Structure 1
Amino acid sequence: MNRTDTHRTARPAHLLRLAGAALLLIALSGCAGWGARERPQLAPAPPPPEPFALNSFELQDDTDVVGRLRHTTVQGEETLLDIARAYDLGYDEILAANPGVDPWTPASGQRVLLPTAHVLPDAPREGIVINLAARRLYYYPPRHDGEPARVVTHPIGIGREGWATPLGRTKVAKKHAAPAWTVPASIRREHAAKGDPLPAVVPPGPDNPLGSHALRLGWSSILIHGTSKPAGIGMRVSHGCMQLYPEDIAPLFEAVPVGTPVTVVDQPYLAGVGTDGLLLEAHEPVKPMSGTRREAAVTRAIEAAIARHRLQDSALVDLDLAQAHAGRHAGYPLPIEASAPAQDAWLAALPAAPPLPTPHVAPVGQGEWYVDLGRFKSENNARRLVAMLTHQGPPIPALRVPGEGQHRVLAGPYPSKALASAAARRIERDLDETGRPIHLAPAVASNAAPPSAMLP
């Protein structure tokens, strides 16, 4: 037997059987069989991305919920405040939606829930409606023939404790572009006591707390206006007025005519029907509530939504689940029907939001004078202070300079020692951080040399 015969007889038996089976299939199928062979099934095409609306929504007569919850991820050293402003959210609502996440130094890659869905307040849908508990304004533009009804919504800052924003109905009495602020005597006394005296009139400009535009209401000394401190939007920070981001007040000012009705309500518990069934949105009440009052308020809101949609015979509500949601004050709508999915799984399935840039731009100073705020062993602590400085109103230029295992924080630069000293006083007053003016070479700001070599 030659080498060829030896190789042929040594072929494994299972390969022979496989080859024979293949030949048998070919013989039985014939040419027609090959031509009729089914193509392999392809995976279905992914669904098109959901349309994304930031703050303007079309309404139907039965619309209760606008927007859609989504998520994003932290990029680099951005803060939750940067993300909130990019998606037209306020400080309190993005913190409530993301408990445990540091607002100033969230980890890069951290998943962030965007509370970009809202249950509309239970109020007439005309003019401006403000829900203090949600820190949110809703504007219902006049409806023209052939056009769908719409609502535009923005986060707001409201009156802090002792300076409550009033409830009730009023109207837009007057509009002011580039307003000057005539400072009430009570506010001047308050600032003087803190070592921050104010003039009788603050002229228009970047230091004016009214911002670029103001809507004067029928109530004395109460306005809807912009701000010089955008980081406070979504918080209780004002002397009773309602503040908006600079990029929100300008278009609202143009759209709202004098005489527009304004309704201010305080509704911490809102129920409505959306694509996920019956939903409950719960906020921290402006005025504290006992557990009994909270349970009653939640029940009333749910019953009103059921009656509004005539769901008495079809909606099966898990009241224990609803009350648990209400106690957490997450600030966004959650399903409360007995058939609702587990909350963690439901939130995990939310779509991602398209990336949006933040309108916040870190300030850049000029000069060779700085405020030295010390060295930090913790990079996060240094990052936090720099972020807080650059988000002040008006913002303070600042930088973090690593070197020799530490991180030095500098505010500035400023063109003179006097301006650096004034900045140091402001930082101590507003942030309780002590610094000293120092003179450094321009390379500090330009980063032209290794940071450790630049600093004395």
Structure 2
Amino acid sequence: MSKIPPMKWRNPRMLATALLLQVAAGSASATVYELAGPEAVLFGREERVLTTYEDTLYEIARRFSLGSEEVVRVNPGIDPWLPGAGRSLVIPGQRVLPAGPREGIVVNLPEHRLYFYPKAVPGKPQRVYTYPISIGKMDWRTPLGKTRVVNKRERPSWVPPESVRREHIANGEPPLPAVVPPGPDNPLGNYAMRLGLAGSYLIHGTNNPIAVGMAVTHGCIRMYPEDIEELFPMVAVGTPVYLVNEPVKVAWVAGELLLEAHPPVDAQGQTGEPELTVFEGLLEQALGESVVAIHWDRARAELTQARGMPTVVGLAAEAPAAPQDGAEGGQAEVKPELNAGGNRL
């Protein structure tokens, strides 16, 4: 495997307080990182890997704890099923933390990613775990707002809601049973955590890992089997869960303004291009009174491509003071539209 070196920063002193330190041995496949301080905003790194004859982009995505569409999007023109041997692939392992609370579980829907902030141990840096997820598809969107984990189950049974059973029949698929017992045919996988939302929304595993990272569920949050197995024992009943919609993220690092853009999810669960006005609003908040030069063509290109990779789009004469922990902006609690039903997927 061939790797590119990590990005070089012009101000190492600022880097020490602005970056997150990866706990694992420097690979993008890590799921846990240590915050270098309360103002830390950036973690991970971009890498490149060489494919083998047996590889698919979906297998590589899972190997690096990424969603399949994340890898496909940043490697255009490469067949995801038959990339061939010796192809150099971009691994988008670097990202900006979402704004808002750094506690419990934060799910950023446009990013198709879950963040978990365990309670900090006195005298030790706070950690953050991050995993790719699947979210609700069109007409079955995952709701926004604040909730909590109300129940946890190992080897759960799945009770398909009547609406899902009708959908299967309408699509010409075999009728679903009233209950699907634990086992390899259960789409919930081996672990499920129920959220305190009407409509039985779950964070759960899957028996179809290739779809992780896509908008394919009936509103639930779906994870790779190995990821939910790691997360499940760390999350206590009562843990807060923030379901946020943040397609555009900006951050100051070492005097450089970074932009990270993802395809936004609208009210119907459809995706599109992030709007320039969204970036301009975040930019206004980030700039304060700093002197900055914006590369607007580069910003527009990133918003159009929505690659999900932090990209330098501006330079400041002097980077603004980093906000204190908890002052970087909160996520407004949005009352979700709720649907009645049984256990979703």
- 1:229: which partner in 2? 208
Q: 2 CA distance for matches of 1:132 and 1:318?
A: 27
Aligned to 1:298: 279
Say which of 130, 133, 141 aligns to 2:107.
130
Task: Supply the distance in 1 between the matched residues of 2:301 and 2:237 (Cα, whole angstroms).
Answer: 43
Question: How far apart, in 2, do the equivalents of 1:68 and 1:171 lie?
Answer: 31
Compute the TM-score of the two structures, normalised by the length of structure 2.
0.79
Q: 1:238-249 to 2 correspondence within 5 Å?
A: 238-249=217-228
Could you tell me how far 1:96 is from its partner in structure 2?
Answer: 1.2
- Within a 5 Å distance, the mapping from 1:381-396 to structure 2 comes to none
In the aligned structure 2, how far is the partner of 1:337 from the partner of 1:269? 15
Deviations 1:250-277 (A, max 9, x none): 1100000010000011111111133682
1:66-106: CA deviation from partner (whole Å, max 9, x where unpaired): 11111111111210001000000001111111111111110
Alpha carbons of structure 1 residues 184 and 248: separation in structure 2 relative to 1, 3 Å: same
Question: By how many angstroms is 1:189 displaced?
Answer: 1.2
Match of 2:323 in 1: none
Amino acid at match of 1:57: Y
Contact map agreement 1:298 1:323 (CA 8 A) in 2: no
**CA–CA distance in 2 between the matches of 1:78 and 1:88?**
15
| Unmatched tracts of structure 2, length 5 or more | 1-24, 317-345
Q: How does 1:45-60 map to 2 (within 5 A)?
A: 51-52=26-27, 54-59=30-35, 60=37
Does 1:185 find its partner at 2:162? yes
Letter in 2 for 1:176: R
3-state secondary structure, aligned to 1:336: strand
Structure 1 pair 52/315, CA: closer, same or farther in 2 (3 Å)? farther
CA RMSD, 1 decimal: 2.0
- Deviations 1:81-134 (CA, angstroms, capped at 9, x unpaired): 010000000011111111111111102111110011111111211100011101
> Matches of 1:200 and 1:135 in 2, distance apart?
30
CA distance in structure 2 between the aligned counterparts of 1:186 and 1:289, rounded to whole angstroms: 23
Structure 1 segment 151-190 matched on structure 2, within 5 A: 151-190=128-167
Q: How much has 1:140 moved relative to structure 2?
A: 0.6
- Following the alignment from structure 1 to structure 2, what is the Cα–Cα distance between the partners of residues 289 and 132? 11
Any conservation in 2 of the 1:179–1:204 contact (CA below 8 Å)? yes
Give the counterpart letter for 1:225 in structure 2: H
1:322 aligns with 2:303: no
Matched, 1:195 2:173: yes
Cα distance in structure 2, aligned partners of 1:149 and 1:130: 18
Q: Distance in 2 between matches of 1:203 and 1:68?
A: 41
**Residue 304 of structure 1: how far off its partner (Å):** 2.9
| Structure 2 counterpart of 1:88, from 62, 65, 76 | 65
Equivalence for 1:216: 194
Cα offset for 1:289?
Answer: 8.3
Distance 2:283 2:92 in 1: 20
Asked whether the 8 Å contact 1:93–1:331 carries over to 2, the reply is: yes
CA contact (8 A) 1:65 1:273 kept: no
Task: Please state how far the C-alpha of 1:338 moved relative to its aligned partner.
Answer: 5.1
1:106 and 1:275 map into 2 onto residues whose CA distance is 36
**Corresponding residue for 1:270?**
249
TM-score by length of 1: 0.60
In the TM superposition, residue 321 of structure 1 has moved relative to its aligned partner by 1.8
Structure 1 gaps of 5+ residues are 1-49, 340-456
For the Cα contact (< 8 Å) 1:138–1:154, is it kept in 2? yes
Q: Does the alignment pair 1:114 with 2:91?
A: yes
Residue 181 of structure 1 aligns to a residue in which SS? coil
Classify the secondary structure of the residue corresponding to 2:293.
coil
Question: Do the aligned partners of residues 87 and 280 (structure 1) sit closer, same or farther apart at CA in structure 2, a change above 3 Å counting?
Answer: same
Q: Percent identity?
A: 45
Is the CA contact 1:272–1:302 (under 8 Å) kept in the aligned structure 2? no
**How many residues get paired?**
286
Q: Which secondary structure does the structure 1 equivalent of 2:228 belong to?
A: helix
Structure with bigger helix share is 1
C-alpha distance in structure 2 between counterparts of 1:260 and 1:314, whole Å: 41
